[in-house]
A = this chain, B = another copy of it.
Amino acid sequence: MAKVALVLIDGFEETEALTTVDILRRGSVEVTTVSLTGEEVVHGKHGVDVHADALFDEVEKGSFDMLAIPGGTTDYTEHEGLLDWVRRYDKEGKKLAAICAAPAVFGKAGILKGRKAVCYPGMESWLTGAVIGQDIVETDGNITTSKGPATAMFFALRLLEILRGEKTAKDVEKAFLVPLIRG
């Protein structure tokens, strides 16, 4: 079973974080939500308090196939342990994903040089060295990035396709009723 660590810090964007957890788990991906705050309960940007599955210090960093970072705040860029985790996964060719403000973490970690990436419109200066993409979700090698709350379901479906293949992603897309909003 594919394993994903999705990190949470106070101020995380609820739709981006939890739509991603929802869609990946619908596709039988094992998602572990990891608190970066030292506390089990993490406070979302719009007042939603969520119980993380594990604390940062407890998890075996090497045990996941993908590290995913929702947006909502640039505080993620201040967490040195997260920056080390990102650099390690990039070096090992493991999968990395971030949306909205969170691609800034990849910029600060120095892994975006010459790679296509997107983020919340107006935050592109954080993506040091990146080639700014045009799509709502961009995948360049092991790195997938996306723009913001409304694009979260498409971001999550892309991650599901990468981890579990096109058929699983299409099945979840249909059950989630995505075809109804695509005109």
Which residues of chain A have a CB within 8 Å of any CB of chain B? Answer: 13-15, 18-19, 21-23, 25-26, 31, 33, 41, 44, 46-51, 53, 120-121, 136, 147-151, 153-154, 176-178, 180-183
**Contact yes or no, B14 A22, CB < 8 A:** yes
**Contact yes or no, A18 B21, CB < 8 A:** no
Q: What's the Cα separation between A149 and B50 when bound, in Å?
A: 19
**Contact yes or no, A21 B50, CB < 8 A:** no
Q: What's the Cα separation between A169 and B183 when bound, in Å?
A: 21
Nearest 9 CB-CB pairs, A to B? Answer: A49-B51, A148-B177, A25-B46, A150-B177, A150-B178, A149-B176, A15-B19, A14-B18, A14-B22
Q: What's the Cα separation between A153 and B14 when bound, in Å?
A: 13
Task: Give the interface centre of A50, A177, A182 by most chain B CB atoms within 10 Å.
Answer: A177
Out of B26, B46, B154, B182, name the residue touching A46 (CB < 8 Å). Answer: B26
**Contact yes or no, A136 B180, CB < 8 A:** yes
**Contact yes or no, A180 B151, CB < 8 A:** yes
Q: What's the Cα separation between A21 and B178 when bound, in Å?
A: 20
Out of B47, B120, B136, name the residue touching A25 (CB < 8 Å). Answer: B47
**Contact yes or no, A50 B49, CB < 8 A:** yes
Question: In the complex, how many angstroms separate the beta carbon of A81 from the nearest chain B beta carbon?
Answer: 23
**Contact yes or no, B50 A48, CB < 8 A:** yes
29 contacts across the A-B interface (CB closer than 8 A):
A13-B22, A14-B18, A14-B19, A14-B22, A15-B15, A15-B18, A15-B22, A15-B153, A18-B44, A19-B149, A21-B46, A21-B48, A22-B149, A26-B46, A41-B51, A48-B50, A50-B50, A50-B51, A51-B51, A121-B177, A136-B180, A136-B181, A148-B176, A149-B176, A150-B176, A150-B178, A150-B180, A151-B181, A183-B183
